[in-house]
């Protein structure tokens, strides 16, 4: 009996692995990832949960900057922001280094830094767009 149970459990584990790899298991695919575990790739738009100092929480779309990308390599127009905020300028690159930070992204041309009164605590990839 134990052998049969072990075979069934092994088959279920293989099936779960296959479903995850193919993106079928929605419950697995759409889990929140705590920022304490890892952050998304820089400049990748994701859904985030933001917590305020008063513990209010909300979700929005945002992207993460890891402090290693400069304004010339960025997909966002940060040059004016860099001048206004006094970001580090690197002569050899003729660009400013974008500091580590989270930026709220409205999906258009506007981005807003998530300030110190708020903390991005978790994120998940954006779902695929609806197809008819």
| Alpha-carbon distance values, 108 to 46, 61, 69, 121 (Å) | 14, 11, 21, 24
44/126 Cα distance (integer angstroms): 9
96/82 Cα distance (integer angstroms): 6
| Alpha-carbon distance values, 74 to 61, 63, 64 (Å) | 18, 12, 12
- Rounded to the nearest 5 degrees, what angle is found at the Cα of 28, between the Cα atoms of 22 and 31? 130
49/71 Cα distance (integer angstroms): 26
Full pLDDT tens readout for the chain, 132 residues = 556 666 654 654 556 555 544 554 455 456 999 999 999 999 999 999 999 999 999 999 999 999 999 999 998 888 788 888 889 999 999 999 999 999 998 776 778 889 889 999 999 999 998 999
């Amino acid at each position: 009996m134990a052998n049969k149970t072990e075979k069934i459990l092994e088959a279920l584990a293989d099936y779960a692995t296959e479903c995850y790899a193919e993106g079928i298991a929605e419950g697995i695919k759409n889990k929140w990832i705590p920022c304490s575990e890892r952050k998304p790739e820089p400049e990748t738009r994701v859904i985030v949960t933001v917590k305020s100092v008063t513990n209010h929480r909300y979700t929005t779309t945002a992207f993460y900057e890891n402090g290693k990308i400069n304004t010339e390599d960025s997909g966002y127009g940060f040059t004016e922001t860099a001048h206004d905020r006094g970001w580090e300028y690197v002569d050899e690159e003729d660009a400013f280094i974008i500091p580590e930070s989270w930026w709220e992204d409205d999906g258009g041309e506007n981005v807003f830094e998530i300030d110190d009164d708020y903390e991005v605590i978790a994120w998940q990839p954006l779902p695929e767009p609806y197809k008819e």
